[in-house]
Structure 1
Amino acid sequence: MPASPTSTSSSALSASLSLVVLQVVSRLFSFALNQLLLRSTSPHAFGVATIQLDTLIATVLFFVREGLRGAVARAGTGDDKTKAEAAALRRQTLLIPTLLTPAALLACAGFYAFSSPSTSAAPPPPQWSSTILLYSLSVLIELVSEPLYLETLAAWQTLTTKRVKVEGFAIFVKAVATLAAVRFVVPDESDALLAFGIGQLAYSLTIWIGLYRITRNLGSSSSPSWRMILPRRQTPSGRYFDQAILETGWALTKQSVIKQLLTEGDKLAVGKFGSEAEMGGYAVALNYGSLIARVVFQPLEESSRLYFSSLAAAAASSSSTTDAIRDTKTPSAASSSSDDPLPAPPPLSALAPCASYLRLVLLLQTHLALIFTLLAPSFTTPLLHLLLGPKWSRTSTAPLILRAYAYSLPFMGMNGITEAFFQAVASPRWIQRGAAWMVLCAGAFAATCWVAVQVGGMGAKGLIVANCVNMGLRTAFSTYFMVRYFSNALARADPIAPRGDAKEEESHRRRDQISAIRHILNWRQWTPSLLTLSTFFLGGYACRRSETRWTARVMRPAAALSRWDEVAESARHLGLGAGVGLLCLVSIALSHRREILLVLERRRATTHAKQE
């Protein structure tokens, strides 16, 4: 039996919270280790490993497995009474990423044959071949373990927290292994690139072992079988794989090709056209700037995609009844929908909690946008100065890139949530339209890159501007789909003309539900209040004034302050930021005090009911 909408929404919220908490803990450990790593390795090695090699492995794995992940999340675990043939087809479908391992390794070999760490005629860095071999071995291990990962996606309500614990521990192991290799294995700093390959291999091994431990006791008949790695034709259908999962996965994969190129476009551009020094500065800026994306945006986007995918299952279970009602009410709507096929909407009982969840995450994103645009840019340079010293804050491009990256975070957050909804519920026809729109986004990204970098001379900052244009266009398309989806769902859920007291009461109830959903999705419900906006704008002005004072006293060579005086000035500046942040939180709490009190009352009632 499928989970109820309320329990599914609660699972999504709890999954989001657990994902964020686990990411914070794991990232704090890896962040501390990365500080030691940055001080122990050269900017050249760090830039090549972060910009080129990490992009290589992320792109190869993304193309091979990302589409199937989305399709499996939509399909779920299936009915316990699934026939033997369907279970076998699903089991063999989970093995597809493993079967594609030769293609992934061929891509790694092609990268080694045709790429170079820079555009100069200089030879590749030391240990280049050995590092590529370690990264290729890491790809092999991750694709072998991918069927286990897909099994955790199918049972996301129970296994998400365990899987994220494994991933968090793997990130920690990667940082420890890389640092240990730099200190004890690599003979010279010039060979530091090899340490990153060792760390990546340790990460993949940890993922494999951890996924095996959390899936070995599932006992599901649909789990992948390692005794039969080659798929066999199933009778009576004569198929090798689950057709529905395969079609959805292929549609998502085609869209993902351009999406991944756009996502990694800035790194690809820096790796191809940037110097080694620029790669190092850009890598450091991304290492700090993407911390928020990895800690907050990534788990929120992942749990949201899993929750929204449950809408597809709810829609499938009620589509026949909904279509019958729609056809008796508005025959023209049925014919028009064939020309513009939106996915079948779920029942109102599932649509209402979905709208509430969507409003909640959009409200969070709009408030985070105020933090990233009005407060965070004033603290990028002081934080780099404290963490990495004057070498990075005064002589590299990292502070300017990190400031620009802070302005791009709102685009990243909104794009992640809206695309999570689109990829979770869109029909194959709409996924094809999304792929076509991605081509337009790619053209806009390339054009903006040329204007900002070549004409405007903005350098790496121009790449971030181009990425914002790209994400803005993608968000616009996903938002357009969301509006169409909910408009269609509410129109098809409009109650039939009442006939009798019972039907009239049901009609009024459905109209009340529709009105409530429309109210929830109104833009005023997920945007900051006037009090919050005023507080953030005034706080941002105060932070800018404080940053100007800090720059005049610390960053100018004529200042020549002692290290202790620099720390004291930075502490004053950061203290002001903490006070402003506290005032902004108070303004948010005052603006949403009724909702907060209602949530607290519900929680107290739930706790009291459990005690009884």
Structure 2
Amino acid sequence: MGSQEVLGQAARLASSGLLLQVLFRLITFVLNAFILRFLSKEIVGIVNVRLTLLYSTTTFLAREAFRRACLSGGAQRDWSQTLNLLWLTVPLGIFWSSCLGWVWLQLLEVPDPDVVPYYGTGVLFFGLSAVVELLGEPFWVLAQAHMFVKLKVLAESMSVILRSVLTALLVLWLPHWGLYIFSLAQLLYTTVLVLCYAIYLIQLLRSPESAKQLTLPVSRVTQLLPSISRSRAFVNWKEAGLAWSFFKQSFLKQILTEGERYVMTFLNVLNFGDQGVYDIVNNLGSLVARLIFQPVEESFYLFFAKVLEREKDASLQKQDDVAVAAAVLESLLKLALLTGLTMTVFGFAYSQLALDIYGGAMLSSGSGTISPCWHCHPRF
């Protein structure tokens, strides 16, 4: 596959992801704004900071390095070994979910059950949802590596919308359920996400067109499962070593991404109510980054991984590919710069209005009005 073709696929993946995410984010924006008017700040803080941190930390420790290592592999590789490596994320997820769940229940401050009921159930369900999502990791990597443009966006958007709808209905009808509401919604989200990938790939393998077009490196559904062969190693040890390297490098990204949640969770610098307000403001302030930068990062990471060879000097690679990669990188940097400048210019003036529309008086009064102004700087 030539660099221009890969660039076209990456651009389509990013643009379609951007457009669909804007559409679905608008729907979830309205649903979340509705939900916030029926919740206490303490419940929002526990769900958005404490439990979400448990979920994101478990998935990060179990899959992030494997995901990047397997996406960095070349076209000439044994996909059965790659899939075996990806299935190792499931036992790792069970291990990390159990360890972190114990920390969340035994070492961290437990909220008042009268204010935030069913905290233990919430920890259990969020840890379980992380393990459920890891069951779809082989399908996700396979889809990403072959640039199935709309599958990822549709699967994630459908999952998010269903989670928001279920949360809104339960908050409206059964508000006394407390964290049961968000636990069930999170489990629904991960289940739907995994099923979307699994059903799509299984149907693709069963269709006669897939055999003719050679879309996937596997031809049967059973080849998606772990397999042991005496003629080869269970995993590609080069990919496994690359995964370990990525694991060490990814810690900085995780700290930068979730650093404030770790501080609030382990140092107790804010009460649960203030944590909830801060996290809502933080999510609203990072909306542009998640809508624009995240699809671009995920799509063009694949582009650079396919066009350029890792650990090989630029002078030894195809100069046409190097020139295309350099031009694309320049355009992406310009996009990031212009987006950051736009957010800096307009963010200060309209942040309080956005908070008032999104969360009402709970966000637009008090300390919540100061935070979004400072969130304009990181976007730049």
Normalising by structure 2, what TM-score? 0.89
Q: Is the 8 A contact 2:42 2:115 kept in 1?
A: no
Tell me the equivalent position of 1:251.
245
* Match among 51, 54, 69 for residue 52 of structure 2: 54
Tell me the equivalent position of 1:399.
369
CA spacing shift, 1:203–1:343, aligned 2, 3 Å: farther
Residue 218 of structure 1 deviates from its aligned partner by 4.5
Tell me the equivalent position of 1:435.
none
After superposition, the C-alpha distances for 1:222-260 in whole angstroms (9 at most, x for unaligned) are: 48966896652542x4x2101222111111012223431
Residue 90 of structure 1 deviates from its aligned partner by 2.7
1:208 and 2:194 correspond? yes
Query: Which deviates the most, 401-410 or 344-353?
Result: 344-353
In 2, the alpha carbon distance for the partners of 1:310 and 1:357 equals 14
* Match among 145, 157, 161 for residue 172 of structure 1: 161
Q: Is the 8 A contact 1:308 1:354 kept in 2?
A: yes
Q: How does 1:14-163 map to 2 (within 5 A)?
A: 14-76=12-74, 78-79=75-76, 86-117=78-109, 125-156=116-147, 159-163=148-152
In 1, the alpha carbon distance for the partners of 2:257 and 2:284 equals 17
What is the Cα-based RMSD across aligned positions, in Å?
A: 2.5
Residue 161 of structure 1 deviates from its aligned partner by 2.0
SS in 2 for 1:232: coil
Normalising by structure 1, what TM-score? 0.56
When Rg is computed on C-alpha atoms for both structures, the one with the higher figure is 1
Tell me the equivalent position of 1:381.
352
In 1, the alpha carbon distance for the partners of 2:222 and 2:91 equals 12
After superposition, the C-alpha distances for 1:53-99 in whole angstroms (9 at most, x for unaligned) are: 111101110111111111121115x34xx6xxx34323322312123
Tell me the equivalent position of 1:8.
6
Higher relative contact order (CA 8 A, sep 6+): 2
SS in 1 for 2:228: coil
The one-letter code of the counterpart of 1:213 is: I
CA spacing shift, 1:371–1:87, aligned 2, 3 Å: closer
In 1, the alpha carbon distance for the partners of 2:376 and 2:283 equals 12
In 2, the alpha carbon distance for the partners of 1:19 and 1:152 equals 14
Tell me the equivalent position of 1:537.
none
Any gaps of 5 or more consecutive residues in structure 2? Answer: 206-215
The one-letter code of the counterpart of 2:190 is: S
Q: Is the 8 A contact 1:92 1:224 kept in 2?
A: no
* Match among 265, 284, 295 for residue 259 of structure 2: 265
Residue 277 of structure 1 deviates from its aligned partner by 2.6
The one-letter code of the counterpart of 1:363 is: K
Residue 171 of structure 1 deviates from its aligned partner by 0.9
Q: How does 1:533-552 map to 2 (within 5 A)?
A: none
The one-letter code of the counterpart of 1:383 is: A
1:409 and 2:379 correspond? yes
In 2, the alpha carbon distance for the partners of 1:96 and 1:218 equals 24
Q: Is the 8 A contact 2:45 2:272 kept in 1?
A: yes
CA spacing shift, 1:312–1:249, aligned 2, 3 Å: farther
Any gaps of 5 or more consecutive residues in structure 1? Answer: 320-341, 411-612
Residue 117 of structure 1 deviates from its aligned partner by 4.7
CA spacing shift, 1:224–1:74, aligned 2, 3 Å: farther
In 2, the alpha carbon distance for the partners of 1:70 and 1:344 equals 25
Residue 382 of structure 1 deviates from its aligned partner by 2.1
SS in 2 for 1:126: coil
CA spacing shift, 1:185–1:380, aligned 2, 3 Å: same
After superposition, the C-alpha distances for 1:157-190 in whole angstroms (9 at most, x for unaligned) are: xx1321111111111111111111212234x2xx
User: Identity of paired residues, percent?
Assistant: 22
Q: How does 1:555-574 map to 2 (within 5 A)?
A: none
